[in-house]
Amino acid sequence: MSDTPTAPVILGDQPGTFPHGVLAERHPAIIRQVREAFPYGPAQHRALDALLAECTGGAVEPLPAGAHDRERWAAWGTDSYAGRSWYDVPWLWSESWFYRRLLDAVGYFGPGPWQGIDPFRPSKLAELGSPATDEELAALDDLAGRPADERARALLHGSLWGNRADLGFRLSAEGAERTAAVPALVADDSERLWTLLGASGTGTLCLVADNAGRELVPDLLLVAHLLAHGRIGRAVLHVKPYPYYVSDATTADVVDAVRRLTGAQGAAAGYGRGLWDALSDGRLTLRAHPFSCAPLPYAEMPDDLRADFAAATLTVVKGDLNYRRLVGDRYWPPTTPFAGVTDYFPGPVAALRTLKSDVVTGLTAATEAALDAAEGRRWRTAGTHALIQVRT
Ligand SMILES: O=P(O)(O)OC[C@@]1(O)O[C@H](CO)[C@@H](O)[C@@H]1O
C-alpha cells in the first residue's frame, strides 16, 4: 500500500454510527437469537448473560489459560487490547472477538456435550430449505438452454447478489430482503475478471466464501460451471473453520449446500453431481484456514495462506466483511484506488460484494457524488448496491 495515503481505522465508539449500532444492538440481538435456537442449560445461559454484559459495557479480557487458541489470539491482539472497552478497539477486531467469545459461551470448543454444535445452524438450515431457495434452483432450468458465456455471466451475478443473503445483516436491517436491489453496479470490472478466467482450462480459482445457504449455493454453481466449461482446472474454496458472523460458511455448510443441489430436481441436480465429483477427484478442494476467522486485514495474512493465493490464477473474495479485510477497515475516501489498497495481495484478486458497511474504494468521483445526492450515506450500508472490482 506504499503509494496509498492511509485513512482512519474504523472504531465502534461513536454513538449513531453503523459500527456502534452493530456492537450495541446487533450483538445483543444475536445473543437473544442463539438462546432461542437450542435448549441450552444453565451454564450456557449464565455464560451468555456474562458475555452480554461484557460486550455492551465491559472490557476485553484474555482467553482463559486452557483455551486451545489462547496464544493465537494473544498474537492477534488480546495482549494489546486487554482491559480496553470493546468500543475503543478496531471494530473489525471487536466483531471477530464477539464470535469467538459467543462460541465459548455455548460450549462450542468443549469439552462437553455442546462441543461442535453450530449455534447458527437452525437459521442456516431454514434458509437453505426455504421456498426462496427452491425458486432460485428452479431458475437454473431456464438458463440451461442459453450459451455457456451467457450462463457464466448470469451465475457471476447470482453469486454477487447472493451476498445479500446474510443472516446477521438481516437481523438488524429491518426489511432488508424486501428493499429492492439497485442492479447498476457502483463499479464493474467484470470484463477483466473474464479475461483472467480465459479458456485455457488449467488455472486455479481461489474463492474465499462468505455466507452459507443462499450465497454459497450460487458460489458453488459458478464454480461448477467454470470447471465444467474449462474456464479453470481447479478451484479452492476457503471456508471458515468455525461458525462466524452468523451465517458464514463452514465445511458442514458446504456439504449441506451440495446435498441440497444433488437432491433437487432438474438442472440443479446436475450441478450438484458435478460438484460432488469435483470434490471427490480433487478438482475442488476446501480449506478452513484459522486466519479466515482472524480479526485482522488480509495485509497481515500468514505465509502459507499467501502462498495459496499466490498460486491462484485469480482469487475471488466474497462479501462485505472480506472486502473490509481486503482493503483495510478504514474510512477511505471512496475514490481511493482499489489497485493501491490491494497491491500487497500476492496475485490477481477480485472483490464481489454488496455494500453493507462504510468501507468502499475504487469509485469514480461522479459515481460517489450521484450516490450521495440520491441517498446521503445510506447507499454504503443498506445492502442495495453492489460492486465487482478486479486488480490484476
Ligand atoms: O460479510 P457479509 O456477510 O457480506 O456482511 C457482514 C456484515 O453484515 O457484517 C458486518 C457488520 O457486522 C458488515 O461488514 C456487514 O454488514
SS3 sequence of 116-168: CCCCCHHHHHHHHCCHHHHHHHHHHHHHCCCCHHHHHHHHHHHHHHHHHCCHH
pTM: 0.95
pLDDT class of 29 with cuts at 50, 70, 90 = very high
Residue 148: inside a domain, yes or no? yes
Same domain membership, residue 173 and residue 99: no
Pocket of ligand 1 (CB under 6 A): 22, 95, 163, 166, 168-169, 210-211, 245, 319-321, 324, 356-357
The predicted model gives 105-113 an average pLDDT of 96
Q: Tell me the best of 159, 245, 330 to mutate to test the pocket of ligand 1, counting ligand atoms within 8 Å of each CB and taking the most.
A: 245
How many degrees, rounded to 5, is the angle at CA 63 between CA 70 and CA 308?
A: 40
Residue nearest to atom 10 of ligand 1 (CA): 321
Same domain membership, residue 315 and residue 241: yes
Same domain membership, residue 258 and residue 294: yes
Query: Dihedrals φ, ψ of 245, to 5°?
Result: 45, 45
Q: Residue 197: name the closest of 230, 148, 163 by CA.
A: 230
| DSSP code at position 23 | I
Residue nearest to atom 16 of ligand 1 (CA): 356
Q: Tell me the best of 356, 377, 381 to mutate to test the pocket of ligand 1, counting ligand atoms within 8 Å of each CB and taking the most.
A: 356
How many degrees, rounded to 5, is the angle at CA 340 between CA 335 and CA 344?
A: 145
Percent of the chain whose predicted confidence (pLDDT) is above 90: 90
Is a pLDDT exceeding 60 seen at residue 206?
A: yes
Ligand 1: atom nearest CA of 381 is 16
Ligand 1: atom nearest CA of 248 is 3
Is a pLDDT exceeding 70 seen at residue 2?
A: no
**Å from CA of 357 to ligand 1 middle:** 7
Task: Kindly tell me the sign of the dihedral angle through the C-alpha atoms of 10, 15, 18, 21.
Answer: positive
Cell representation of residue 100: 469467538
Q: Tell me the best of 320, 327, 387 to mutate to test the pocket of ligand 1, counting ligand atoms within 8 Å of each CB and taking the most.
A: 320
Rounded Cα gap, residues 206 and 223, in angstroms: 10
Residue nearest to atom 3 of ligand 1 (CA): 166
Rounded Cα gap, residues 242 and 176, in angstroms: 26
Residue nearest to atom 7 of ligand 1 (CA): 169
Same domain membership, residue 193 and residue 109: no
ipTM over cut 0.90: yes
Peptide bond into 111 cis (omega under 30): yes
Residue 60: inside a domain, yes or no? yes
* pLDDT value of residue 4: 65
pLDDT class of 353 with cuts at 50, 70, 90 = very high
**Beta-sheet strand order (sheet of 386-391):** 187-188, 386-391, 349-354, 314-318, 204-208, 234-238, 284-287
Same domain membership, residue 153 and residue 115: no
Same domain membership, residue 102 and residue 70: yes
**Listed residues 119, 136, 158: the one ending a domain:** 119
Same domain membership, residue 87 and residue 53: yes
Segment 365-392, tens digit of pLDDT: 999 999 999 999 999 999 999 999 999 9
**Å from CA of 169 to ligand 1 middle:** 6
Same domain membership, residue 137 and residue 58: no
Segment 280-330, tens digit of pLDDT: 999 999 999 999 999 999 999 999 999 999 999 999 999 999 999 999 999
The larger pLDDT score, comparing residue 167 to residue 107, is at: 107
Q: Residue 314: name the closest of 229, 226, 387, 221 by CA.
A: 226
Ligand 1: atom nearest CA of 354 is 4
pLDDT class of 130 with cuts at 50, 70, 90 = very high
The residues facing 211 across adjacent strands are: 248
In terms of DSSP bridges, do strands 284-287 and 234-238 run parallel, antiparallel, or are they unpaired? parallel
Which residues contact residue 321 at a Cβ distance below 8 angstroms, ignoring those fewer than 6 apart? 210, 245, 248
**Listed residues 119, 148, 163: the one ending a domain:** 119
**Å from CA of 256 to ligand 1 middle:** 22
Q: Strand locations in 4-125, DSSP E? A: none
* pLDDT value of residue 331: 97
Same domain membership, residue 224 and residue 101: no
Residue 7: inside a domain, yes or no? no
Rounded Cα gap, residues 234 and 263, in angstroms: 24
Residue nearest to atom 14 of ligand 1 (CA): 321
CATH number at residue 178: 3.40.50.10880
Same domain membership, residue 147 and residue 109: no
* pLDDT value of residue 175: 55
Same domain membership, residue 274 and residue 340: yes
Please name the helix (run of DSSP H) or strand (run of DSSP E) that holds residue 281, with its range, or none. helix 267-281
Q: Is 330 exposed, middle or buried (0-12, 13-18, 19+ CB in 10 A)?
A: buried
* pLDDT value of residue 1: 46
Segment 79-104, tens digit of pLDDT: 999 999 999 999 999 999 999 999 99
The predicted model gives 48-54 an average pLDDT of 97
Residue 9: inside a domain, yes or no? no
The mean pLDDT value of the chain amounts to 94
**Domains of the chain: total:** 2
Same domain membership, residue 335 and residue 193: yes
Residue 8: inside a domain, yes or no? no
Ligand 1: atom nearest CA of 95 is 12
* Cβ–Cβ under 8 Å, residues 379 and 385: yes
Ligand 1: atom nearest CA of 19 is 11
**Å from CA of 372 to ligand 1 middle:** 21
**Å from CA of 39 to ligand 1 middle:** 27
Peptide bond into 241 cis (omega under 30): no
The predicted model gives 201-216 an average pLDDT of 95
Residue 4: inside a domain, yes or no? no
pLDDT class of 239 with cuts at 50, 70, 90 = very high
Residue 381: inside a domain, yes or no? yes
Residue 3: inside a domain, yes or no? no
**Å from CA of 65 to ligand 1 middle:** 31
**Å from CA of 20 to ligand 1 middle:** 14
**Å from CA of 280 to ligand 1 middle:** 32
* pLDDT value of residue 182: 82
The predicted model gives 243-253 an average pLDDT of 97
Cell representation of residue 241: 473453520
**Listed residues 92, 119, 146: the one ending a domain:** 119
Which residue range(s) make up the domain with 242? 123-391
Rounded Cα gap, residues 306 and 84, in angstroms: 31
